[in-house]
Chain A
Amino acid sequence: MTSELTIARSIGRNVLQARGSDALADWFRRLWRGALPLLWGLVFPAIVLPIWFAGTYWGWLPQQILPTPSEVWSTLLDMLRSGELKMHTTISLLRVVYGFAAGTAVGLALGAAMGLSRRVDDYVRPLFTAIAQVPALAWIPLAMLFLGIGETLKIVVIAKAAFVPVVMNTSAGIRNVPLEFAEVGDTFKFSAWQKLRLVVLPGAIPSIFTGLRYGLTHAWIALVSVELVASSEGLGYLLVWGRQMFWLDTVLVAMIVIGLVGFATDKLLAKIEQHLQRWRIHGA
């Protein structure tokens, strides 16, 4: 492969030299450099896909365990076209959004209280640590008893999952704002509210966002758990259904969508974080 690239490069170079065009060569070089990572990224599928095709063609594994790539593709298209995928995705996404919002709201408030007041921290931390040790998954049976299997259950479980990292990172972030900055506020007679608004919160934002991003990751995991257990629609339900019917293509489609939507939501948070933190040293 390397030799072909070299040949292509030298041909290109010769062509451009013949034309004597410098700007074009420059543009070509930049295009090449931009495309290179993409080409590297294709190496893996370039190896795997042919093997996959060959495997299904020659029936190395039963069809239930390994559907053909074309089957997966057509299932994906079918589900898209019928609107099925959109419905399940929307339901799951909304659950994550509501649960994340609820868990984050409570988490930020509690985390702030714990960070600002040693007293509150003393009262709350042991209980909080105990709750944090038990994953959202294990809370499901307990929660089901009190909440049934409706939407509330799902939102609550997702909220709990998001809540834990938000509280931990918010309280740590607030506590870690250096005392020196508060003193500066003192010299300008900042009230406690001003100190909070102008010194503590801006200083704690990096940690708070770390908490939010972990919270989102955990919220997605909780969503999948709760939909695997107790749901009749949503991406998790697709997983269960696909597995029960041994439709691996459905399972794969659901997994891919979960990955993509999870990625998109994380990227969104990252963008917001970046916008709020223009003051940070690049790369830090």
Chain B
Amino acid sequence: MALDGISPEARLPTGFLRGLALPLGLLTLWELSSHSGLFNQQFLPPLEKVASTAWREWTNGELLSDLIVSLRRDLTGFAIGTGIGIAVGLALGLSRTFDKIFTRWFNGLKQIALLAWIPLISIWFGFDEAAKIVFVALAAAIPVILNIVEGIRLTSQKSIEVGEVFKFNRRQVIVLIYLPSALPSILTGVHLALIYSWLATIGAEYFMAAGPGIGGLVIAGRERFEMDLVLLGIVVLGVVGFALDRLASWLEHRLVPWRRP
């Protein structure tokens, strides 16, 4: 609980203003430091430079094409990964045999930090599009699998008993009881997959180098010591991540309205 006893009604306008304080303060500090001459302007570009770079990249179409390339990778990998994840997740959750054979290995493999797979993937698939998409798919599949298995596991024993009373066959039990019951968890998994695949897209672009994309933008900026490009890339990255997260939440809310937000 919050112990400082501020009434919720009073908070709304003041809360908003307070929230602006720190970001505005930081931006001001940045601006001042940049112009102060204490730092090399290449390392600490003034905000107007970042803004003008952003404008330039937008109007010459570079930013947009980078964004589209990244998003296309992201969504392709996401779709493949989610598809595979749902299939594997359902198999692990619904089939005792599958579970007994594969779950331990899956749990073991998931311990390996995601980015550690990049070298392996780059050896097997090279550095081009296919490799990046494989990595993104991997990043998407993992949370989907984990959440589906969890969702199925949490299906209430009571609901299953009702199915027994009405003599449901295996297919009916799966379709009418397990799946609807696991639906919220599946959606959570897909939501997380959306977030992680975006992060993986950036990671893939960053480490598998070369080529257009937001990650590529950041690398280019770093190599050319153009901090404004790096910053631009980071900001775009964050904004897209935020937007995707919000989109996923909204979809989740629409599809599973009975859940508390």
A and B touch in the complex (CB under 8 A): yes
A residues in contact (CB < 8 Å) with B: 37, 40-41, 43-45, 64-65, 115-119, 121-127, 129-130, 133-135, 137-139, 141-142, 144-145, 174-175, 177-179, 182, 192, 195-196, 200, 217, 220-221, 223-225, 228-229, 235-236, 239-240, 242-243, 246, 248, 251-252, 254-256, 258-260, 262-263, 266
Which one of A122, A130, A258 contacts B116 once the chains associate, using CB atoms below 8 Å? A258
Interface-facing stretch out of B21-29, B166-174, B176-184: B21-29
Are A141 and B218 neighbours in the complex by a CB distance under 8 Å? yes
In the bound complex, how far is the Cα of B121 from the Cα of A248, in angstroms? 10
A236-B1 contact, Cβ under 8 Å, with A122-B14, A122-B15: no
Does chain A have a CB within 8 A of B163? no
Known: A116-B4, A137-B206, A141-B222. A123 touches B113 (CB 8 A): no
Provide 16 A-B residue pairs closer than 8 Å at the C-beta atoms, listed in order of the A residue: A37-B100, A115-B2, A118-B11, A118-B15, A119-B6, A124-B22, A127-B23, A141-B219, A145-B43, A179-B1, A224-B115, A224-B116, A228-B119, A239-B119, A259-B108, A262-B113
Of the residues B120, B199, B222, B227, contact of A135 by C-beta under 8 Å: B199
Contacting residues, chain A, for B203 (C-beta < 8 A): 135, 137, 225
Contacting residue for B202 out of A138, A142, A177, A221, CB 8 A: A138
B2 and A118 within 8 A (CB): yes
Instruction: Determine the residue in chain A with the shortest Cβ distance to B20.
Output: A126
Nearest residue, chain A, Cβ from B104: A41
Residue tally, chain B, CB below 8 Å to A: 56
CB atoms of A127 and B22 under 8 A apart: yes
Determine whether B54 belongs to the interface, using a CB cutoff of 8 Å to chain A: no
CB–CB B123/A65 < 8 A: yes
- B contact residues vs A (CB 8 Å cutoff): 1-4, 6, 11, 14-15, 18-23, 26, 43, 100-102, 104-105, 108-109, 111-120, 122-124, 199, 202-203, 206-207, 218-219, 221-222, 227, 230-231, 233-234, 237-239, 241-242, 245
| Contact B238 A133, beta carbon cutoff 8 Å | yes
Do A252 and B6 have beta carbons less than 8 Å apart?
A: no
The reply to whether B234 and A255 contact each other, CB–CB distance below 8 Å, is no
Q: Tell me the complex Cα distance, A224–B203, Å.
A: 11
A101 to B186 alpha-carbon distance, docked (Å):
33
Q: Is the CB of B101 within 8 A of A43?
A: yes
In Å, the complex CA distance between A160 and B46 comes to 25
What residues of chain B lie closer than 8 Å to A259, measured between beta carbons?
Answer: 108-109, 111-112, 116
A87 to B204, CA, bound (A): 28
Q: Say yes or no: B242 contacts A133, CB within 8 Å.
A: yes
Excluding A41-B105, A243-B122, A259-B109, 8 further A-B contacts by CB distance (< 8 Å) are: A127-B22, A133-B245, A135-B199, A141-B222, A142-B230, A142-B234, A200-B3, A228-B115
B207 contact from A124, A228, A255, Cβ within 8 A: A228
In Å, the complex CA distance between A172 and B20 comes to 21
Query: How many angstroms between the C-alpha atoms of A225 and B101 in the bound complex?
Result: 32
Q: Closest residue to A121 on the B side, CB-wise?
A: B2
A11 CB to closest chain B CB, in angstroms?
24
* Bound CA span A223–B14, Å: 39
| In the complex, chain A residues whose CB is within 8 Å of the CB of B206 | 137
Contact B238 A134 (CB under 8 A): yes
**Minimal beta-carbon separation of B50 from chain A (angstroms):** 13
Q: How far is the CA of A133 from the CA of B245 in the complex (A)?
A: 9
A65 touches B124 (CB 8 A): yes
Q: How far is the CB of B215 from chain A (nearest CB, A)?
A: 8
Query: Which residue of B has the minimal Cβ distance to A256?
Result: B112
**CA of A192 to CA of B108 in the docked complex: distance in angstroms?**
45
Chain A residues within an 8 Å CB radius of B102: 44
